[in-house]
Structure formats: C-alpha cells, structure tokens
Amino acid sequence: MAYVLSGDYWGKQTVSYYIDLADANQMMAALRAFEKWDSELALDFVRVYTPAEGDITVSTVDIDGPQMALARAKTFTNPENQITKSVIQFDSADGVTFQTALHEIGHAIGLDHSGDPSTIMSWRVDLTLDGLQPDDIAGGQILYSAPELLFGWNIGWNFGWYHGWAYGWNADWYVGWGVGWHVTGDGWTYGWTYGWNVGWNVGWHIGWGNGWNFGWSVGWYYS
C-alpha cells in the first residue's frame, strides 16, 4: 500500500462541513466529494450552513495563480493528535474539481500525500481519475474503518423516490417510521429512519415509474 497517514485523525464519528462557494458547479463537485468519502468510511459528514458550525470549512482564496498550487488544507489538533478543525482553501484562479476536492478532504481527515501517482492522494492530482482509488480508500479505512452494512427486516411507512416494482425488488430513498431487527448493529430498533433502501418488498405503493411513492412495505434491506 502506498497511502501515508499524517498522524492526525478525527476523534468522533460525525464531522460537519461548511462550503462557501459561489459557483454552482464547484459547489456540486465539493458536495460529491464529501458524499464519496462518507460512503467509504465509518465517518459521517454532515453539511452545515454557518462557518462557526463547520468542523471543516471550504472556500476559495488567491494562492499563487493558475496551474500552480491548486489548493491547500490545514488541520488543527489537540495534544492527542485529534483533529479539532480543518480549513480547505482552493485557489480562486483554478476553482474546484471533484478530484481536487477528494484530495483536500483526504488531508482534512488525516491522509498525507501518497507515493503512488495513480491515486487521488498523490502530491500531483490526476484530474482524469474518476474518483477515489483502492489505495485512497484503504488509507481512510485504516483511520476510520469501513461503513457498517446492516441486514434485517423492516416494517414501516415510507415515502420517497423509487424505481422498481410495487411487488418485487425495489430501490428507493425513504423517510419514515419503522420497526425492525438488525442482524448487525443493535438488534431491535424502531423510530424515524431515512436513507437508501434496497431489497425485496411486498406492499402497497402509489407513484409513477420514477416518482414519489408511499405505503406500507415489508422486506429485506440494507442501508
């Protein structure tokens, strides 16, 4: 493995981030990058809307002009090397890309430059990469482990976007109240839940081929 750890890490599971970017495309690139890291680590990124709330802040500044240093990240730590604040700044002359955002978030969570030029965490970011590479993910999971996969059955009322069959396999984004058993996790759970739901469902649905649906469902799921 070529990944390099900085020696610093977040000592909590949920990390908030604040983005101050005026350009819509650059904003989307940064949001996608946080979502991608979130999907690969047992570290939950939560977006906030005031700078004071952000554990990680993202903005643009003048650094050194176009095609030089694309961005920089600074982490602040306590005596136990736990990160207490990270500041990501992109050069306003270069803007923000998905790849550079992934790279700087990597620094913000405790990764240093990789010795492998084919990784996102290489000192020179390859802007043709389609996302995090296995070595990047391995380094992040050394610090925070992989996200937990929950299996079980769930009964609840849900609504959200979906595609699939009303009876059969179904994938949707749901918000609702449910009761269920998790094979991994805490056993019996109940309460309001949200997230992606994929599994076998038997239930009553009202909706379009790709639109809103609601109703009762029973099925296996992971989230």
pLDDT at 110 over 60: yes
Rounded mean pLDDT of 163-183?
50
Rounded CA-CA distance 221/152 in Å is 6
**How much of the chain is helix, strand and coil, in % rounded to 5?**
20, 45, 35
What type of residue sits at position 153?
A: W
Least confident window among 3-7, 91-95, 139-143: 91-95
Is residue 208 pLDDT above 70, yes or no?
no
The pLDDT score that the predictor gives to residue 196 is 55
Sequence letter at residue 19: I
Structure tokens of 206? 């009202």
Q: Give the pLDDT score at 166.
A: 42
Structural domains of the chain ordered from first start: 4-144 (3.40.390.10), 152-221 (no CATH)
pLDDT value of position 147: 79
Give per-residue pLDDT as tens, 65-106.
676 678 899 999 999 999 999 999 999 888 899 999 999 999
pTM of the predicted structure, to 2 decimals: 0.67
Across the range 24-35, mean pLDDT stands at 97
Can you tell me the distance from the alpha carbon of 177 to that of 50, in angstroms, rounded to the nearest whole number?
30
Q: Tell me the helices (H) and strands (E) count for the chain, helix number first.
A: 3, 11
40: nearest Cα among 116, 148, 115: 148
